[in-house]
Amino acid sequence: MQILGLRGLQSAGVLPVKKAFIQFNLKSMVPPALGANLNNLKTDPKMPGSDPTLNTLIEFNAPLPREKLFCPRLSCSVFDNIVQGLH
């Protein structure tokens, strides 16, 4: 999966967006019995500001169904890396 960047981020608090990153919840794609074998992935916080270019390649293996009807959704969340690593 190639992640290019984020655009138009707005801070939920009073501080502006510093260094945003994305966390991918791979466990949301598989049944709970198979989720124990998967780890969630995240991008590295690189560029500052509300329009960061991440330009990251993430590779992972997940058991997916063959029929499109049963394809799961990949959920992700965007976090901000503030004050020496606090989110």
**Measuring CA to CA, which residue among 33, 27, 31, 32 is closest to residue 60?**
27
Whole-structure pTM value: 0.81
How many C-beta atoms lie closer than 10 Å to residue 17's C-beta? 20
pLDDT tens column, 12-28: 878 888 889 999 998 88
pLDDT tens column, 39-75: 889 999 888 899 999 999 998 888 888 888 888 888 9
How many C-beta atoms lie closer than 10 Å to residue 26's C-beta? 19
Judged against a pLDDT cut of 70, whether residue 30 lies above it is answered with yes
**Secondary element (H or E) of residue 33:** helix 32-35
Confidence of residue 85 (pLDDT cuts 50, 70, 90): low
Whether 24 and 42 have beta carbons less than 8 Å apart is answered as yes
